[in-house]
Structure 1
Amino acid sequence: MNYLPNAFDPPVWYLVMPVSGATGEVFTRKRYADMVAAKLNSDQHNALIRVEDYTFLPSAIHLMIREGALSLDLWWQPFMNAVLKDVNHLQPEEQLSWGQFTSERITDADAFEHRSYELLFLPVWKGLATDPEGYAYNSVNNKAKIDL
């Protein structure tokens, strides 16, 4: 792909947000995937961030986002707190917490394509699907209905 000059300004980030304390699926349950999608869509509607790509695994959210009105440092923690609050409210018997979350700044087209490919094939590599197009909770199928 050819990108225009300054295509990665504002910054694009690859984020991994694993949840701890889950005994089963979390983010691939429709109820929770819809909740995360609604929060992301709200933040996009308010121009705080822009979702470029995503994959929800049973116990982790993988996102590529572009900064908007807020920098990653200002957006990320409140987003994670809101998601966790909603999940724990709906699932009081299992109080979940975030595990070791990571971020990587995407600075060029090669890094963007590498992470996009990774997001696409994560469910296959994890044994959750035989084909990326058969996995519901990614940007390809967008069952979560995130505004892309």
Structure 2
Amino acid sequence: MNYLPNAFDPPVWYLVMPVCGAADQVFTEKRYADILAARLNNDQRNALIKVEDYTFMPFAVHLIIREVALSADMWWPAFMHAILEELNKKWPGGGLSWCDDTSERIADAEAFEHRAYELLYLPVWKGLATDPEGYAYNSINNRAKIDL
């Protein structure tokens, strides 16, 4: 894939947000996926960030985002806090928290393609689907209805 010069400026990030405190799947249930989608779509409408790709695993959110009005280090903590607050309102007994979240700046086309491929095939590697097109909560099927 050919990219225009400066395609990774503003910065692009690969973010992983695993949740702790849940015995049942979280992000592949519609009511919880809807919380994520609503916030991501709102942040995109307000031009804070741009979602490039996503995969919601049962216990983790994987995003590739592009900075727009806010840097990732300003947007991401506020996003995580807001999502966790909404999840705990709906989660039986609350008690969810983020654990071991990671971020990686994607600096070039090779890194972008590597992370996009990984994000796409993660459900297959984890045995949740036989191919990426068969997994509902990713950028291909977009069951969460995130503005891509």
Scaled by the length of structure 1, the TM-score of the pair is 0.99
SS at match of 2:61: strand
Segments of structure 2 that go 5 or more residues without pairing to the other structure are: none
SS at match of 1:104: strand
1:50-91, Cα deviation, whole Å (9 max, x unpaired)? 000000000100000000100001000010000000000001
Q: How much identity, in percent, do the aligned residues show? A: 73
Partner residue of 1:123?
123
How many residue pairs align between the two structures? 148
For residues 135 and 32 of structure 1, the distance between their equivalents in structure 2, rounded to whole angstroms, comes to: 17
Letter in 2 for 1:116: A
- Counting only pairs closer than 5 Å after superposition, residues 87-102 of structure 1 correspond to structure 2 as 87-102=87-102
* Conserved 8 A contact 1:22-1:94: no
Letter in 1 for 2:38: A
- Counting only pairs closer than 5 Å after superposition, residues 42-57 of structure 1 correspond to structure 2 as 42-57=42-57
**Greater Cα offset, 37-46 or 85-94:** 85-94
Scaled by the length of structure 2, the TM-score of the pair is 0.99
SS at match of 1:129: coil
